Amino acid sequence: MFPKIPAAQTVILYCKQYEIKDVVISPGSRNAPLSIGFASNPNFNCYSIIDERSAGFFALGIAQQKQKPVILLCTSGSALLNYYPAVSEAYYSRIPLIILSCDRPTYKVGIGDGQTINQNKVFDKNISCSESLIQDVSHNRNEIFMSNTQTLMKKSADSKLVLETQKKIQIKNQEILKNIISNCLKLSKPVHLNIPLEEPLYNFDENPSIQISDVNFISTPDLNENKKFNYTALQNNSKILVLIGCLNPEFLAKETIGRLANDGRFVVLTETTSNVNDRSFFGNIDKLIAPIEYLDDKKEIFKDLSPDLLITLGGMVISKKIKKFLRDYGVFKHIHLGECDSNDTFFKNVLHVKINPNTFFENLFSNNKKKSKYFDTWNKIQLHREIGHKKFIKRLVFCDLYVYSCLVNVIPKNTQIQAANSSSIRYLQLFKMKHNNTMYCNRGTSGIDGCTSTSVGSSNACSDPVLLITGDLSFFYDINGLWNNYIKSNFRIIIINNGGGGIFRILPGFKNNQIFSQYIETKQVQGAKQLAKHFGFSYQSKKTKFGLKLALRSFFKKSNKPKILEISTSSETSSSILKSYFKFLSKPDFER
């Protein structure tokens, strides 16, 4: 079925033409022409999510996995504003979303009409492109003529002039649509299209009545625009630090990884969300750097670790420790590789080289025979940290750190891990992950608001089982992420419930008093048992070492229902142990 309203029909036809498949629909009446049009067309996979904020992150999860645009469709009014958290996350994480907001006609905005706000360009600076279609004049022109403020057409216009005007509007709207979709495809960022629709909204035809112009598909961006880049100057550097942020799996070629791992000039720092692994890469940045801060000779150590050249690739970097280290120590050149935005995170006037990283490193490796002990300097610290880490973990009492040490050892192969903000992802950064597991986290804006919804969306675009590891505040904040019909039986949630925002206890400025507890840490006493029952999950709750190990034996086994495992810990104990962990790792001799 196709809506009779030309603008609505044109949107559907172009989305089909550009081979966009997934549509997340939020309920409403103003968007009914598009909702029914998409849902009745076999070319689209449609999802119905009631809560718009949850819908936004659900769509983000799908787009994150498919790396293709996903449509978000909503009615008029505040519904659109509820997409904002997901839109901003998508913008800073470079995830393609197409937000379609249906609106009242322009002449009914600002006059007290119901469910009406100023929707056009509402996302302002947190969107790649924002446009509004021109309202059709051929659809219910009598209603248009009733307005004393409309500027679409003179009231004296006859049928011929109406048709001529509509043709011009149609041409313009087609150009707007092609521009908005092309922008999303090219930049892999969210775009917003506002669509003013006059009633009636529920008239449809079996076949389209509009012919649209052909589209030019967006080719893969040319990442070789810097073919003439001068590599000679860089080849003289003997201390090259490669820092990899959030990245999709298999981005770096195996040959590139192998050569980086076997060249003493290079130190490669990765994070769990880098999804790049090699034994010679350093994957636990905070574990490496944080203990140095306790040492009297920390300045000398940091200077030895400081690079001559910093090469970054991928998206956001999680570790605060690496940011502070690179800002405070050393004078070096910073180059960012690839298509991702180049942020001057370390205040070194970053140079963005838009070239495929594999090509860049291949050229940097060629004809170089320079020897270096830069890798050995880092590796000596790494080996020391691993010894201390194992000794400390062995004697842990039941706490957050102990829980994560158990989890990383039992997560099955080929599991996609979705880590919530902020304690969950930071604890996971301290442990080595299995090479065939992938990990994602909403680090564009680092909010707790949509972690559950994102993980549910990603599970609908992923053949592997999905595990969400979350804290209590993140979980309860996004309860509506479970309020849908798209949760698979192999979906798993592990909640580490330490009764509030325990991460704030380890940050500088912590004060152990009532005000901090109530307004910063935000103590809470809720559990997930009743919610699990309400949403149809199997549920277990554990508070001891023995109970946790027993629960983990069966938690990942196949089942007819999704599962929640809630693990209760003490935030006071956990924060104290985490601080002592980093201090312990700074010891020169772990036997003392």
CATH number of 549's domain? 3.40.50.970
At residue 518, does pLDDT exceed 70? Answer: yes
- Which of 183, 203, 223 is where one domain is finished? 203
DSSP state of 466: E
Residues 134 and 84 in one domain: yes
Q: What is the pLDDT of residue 223?
A: 64
Q: How many domains does the chain fold into?
A: 3
Among 287-291, 484-488, 515-519, the range scoring the smallest mean pLDDT is 515-519
Q: What is the pLDDT of residue 15?
A: 98
Residues 328 and 410 in one domain: no
Assigned token pair, 475: 């979980």
Among 49-63, 94-108, 511-525, the range scoring the smallest mean pLDDT is 511-525
At residue 37, does pLDDT exceed 90? Answer: yes
Contact criterion met (CB below 8 Å) for 382 and 282: yes
Residues 307 and 276 in one domain: yes
Per the domain annotation, does 456 fall within a domain?
yes
Residues 486 and 364 in one domain: no
Per the domain annotation, does 225 fall within a domain?
no
Please tell me the distance from the alpha carbon of residue 58 to that of residue 47, in angstroms, as a whole number.
9
Query: Over the Cα atoms of the chain, what is R_g?
Result: 27
- Which of 381, 413, 447 is where one domain is finished? 381
At residue 512, does pLDDT exceed 90? Answer: no
Please tell me the distance from the alpha carbon of residue 272 to that of residue 337, in angstroms, as a whole number.
19
Q: What is the pLDDT of residue 571?
A: 95
What is the per-residue DSSP string for 141-153? HHHHHH-SS--SS
Assigned token pair, 272: 């769990």
Contact criterion met (CB below 8 Å) for 290 and 321: yes
Predicted confidence band of residue 231 (pLDDT cuts 50, 70, 90): confident
Contact criterion met (CB below 8 Å) for 442 and 93: yes
At residue 591, does pLDDT exceed 80? Answer: no
Q: Residues of the chain with pLDDT > 70: what percent? A: 97
| Packing angle, helices 571-585 and 400-410, rounded to 10 | 80
Residues 164 and 274 in one domain: no
Write the Ramachandran bin of 212: left for phi over 0, alpha for psi from -120 to 50, otherwise beta: beta
For residues 447-473, give the mean pLDDT: 98
Residues 104 and 176 in one domain: yes
The CATH number of residue 320's host domain is: 3.40.50.1220
Per the domain annotation, does 423 fall within a domain?
yes
Q: C-alpha distances in angstroms, 357 versus 254, 284, 335, 340, 501?
A: 12, 22, 11, 11, 38
| Packing angle, helices 32-39 and 6-17, rounded to 10 | 40
Q: What is the pLDDT of residue 590?
A: 81
pLDDT tens for each residue of 310-356: 999 999 999 999 999 999 998 899 999 998 789 999 999 999 999 99
For residues 496-510, give the mean pLDDT: 87
Burial class (CB in 10 A: 0-12, 13-18, 19+), 419: buried
Per the domain annotation, does 209 fall within a domain?
no
Q: C-alpha distances in angstroms, 369 versus 150, 193, 360, 513, 586?
A: 73, 54, 17, 59, 35
3-class secondary-structure state, position 406: helix
- Which of 336, 351, 381 is where one domain is finished? 381
For residues 499-522, give the mean pLDDT: 86
Long-range contacts of 460-463 (CB under 8 A, 24+ apart): 460/47, 460/61, 460/62, 460/486, 460/488, 461/22, 461/61, 461/62, 461/64, 461/65, 461/66, 462/65, 462/416
Phi, psi of 418 (to 5 degrees): -105, 115
Per the domain annotation, does 73 fall within a domain?
yes
Residues 193 and 240 in one domain: no
Residues 370 and 417 in one domain: no
Q: What is the dihedral of CA 443, 572, 494, 531, to 10 degrees?
A: -100
Which residues does residue 467 pair with via DSSP β-bridges, in sequence order? 417, 492
Q: What is the pLDDT of residue 370?
A: 77
Q: What is the pLDDT of residue 434?
A: 81
Predicted confidence band of residue 138 (pLDDT cuts 50, 70, 90): very high
Residues 336 and 370 in one domain: yes
Which residues lie below 8 Å from residue 557, measured CB to CB, with a gap of 6+?
none
Instruction: Count Cβ atoms below 10 Å from residue 463 Cβ, excluding itself.
Output: 8
Q: Which of 368, 372, 341, 349 is nearest to 241 (CA)?
A: 372
Q: What is the pLDDT of residue 258?
A: 94
Q: What is the pLDDT of residue 355?
A: 92
How far, rounded to the nearest angstrom, does the alpha carbon of residue 19 sit from its chain's CA centroid?
23
Task: Indicate the pTM of the whole model.
Answer: 0.96
Q: What is the pLDDT of residue 164?
A: 96
Per the domain annotation, does 174 fall within a domain?
yes
At residue 3, does pLDDT exceed 80? Answer: yes
Structural domain including 539 reads 396-585
Q: What is the pLDDT of residue 227?
A: 62
Q: What is the pLDDT of residue 367?
A: 66
Predicted confidence band of residue 222 (pLDDT cuts 50, 70, 90): low
Q: Would you say the C-alpha torsion 439, 444, 447, 453 has a positive or negative sign?
A: negative
At residue 371, does pLDDT exceed 90? Answer: no
Residue with tokens 């999860």: 61
pLDDT tens for each residue of 200-217: 999 999 999 999 988 887
Q: What is the pLDDT of residue 225?
A: 56
Predicted confidence band of residue 582 (pLDDT cuts 50, 70, 90): very high
Kindly provide the b/e burial profile for residues 360-379, where b requires at least 16 CB atoms within 10 angstroms of the residue's own CB. Answer: bbeebbeeeeeebebbebbe
Residues 373 and 405 in one domain: no
Phi, psi of 455 (to 5 degrees): -65, -35
Predicted confidence band of residue 155 (pLDDT cuts 50, 70, 90): confident
Mean residue pLDDT across the chain: 95
Per the domain annotation, does 214 fall within a domain?
no
Instruction: Find the angle CA(553)-CA(558)-CA(561) to the nearest 5 degrees.
Output: 110
| Packing angle, helices 374-394 and 400-410, rounded to 10 | 110
Residues 295 and 158 in one domain: no
Q: C-alpha distances in angstroms, 180 versus 88, 177, 262, 314?
A: 17, 5, 45, 25
Q: Which of 251, 315, 284 is nearest to 446 (CA)?
A: 315
How far, rounded to the nearest angstrom, does the alpha carbon of residue 383 sit from its chain's CA centroid?
32
For residues 479-493, give the mean pLDDT: 98
Please tell me the distance from the alpha carbon of residue 335 to that of residue 340, in angstroms, as a whole number.
12
Residues 360 and 273 in one domain: yes
How far, rounded to the nearest angstrom, does the alpha carbon of residue 376 sit from its chain's CA centroid?
34
Q: What is the pLDDT of residue 226?
A: 57
At residue 409, does pLDDT exceed 80? Answer: yes
Per the domain annotation, does 284 fall within a domain?
yes
Q: Residues of the chain with pLDDT > 90: what percent? A: 86
Among 87-91, 263-267, 328-332, 488-492, the range scoring the smallest mean pLDDT is 328-332
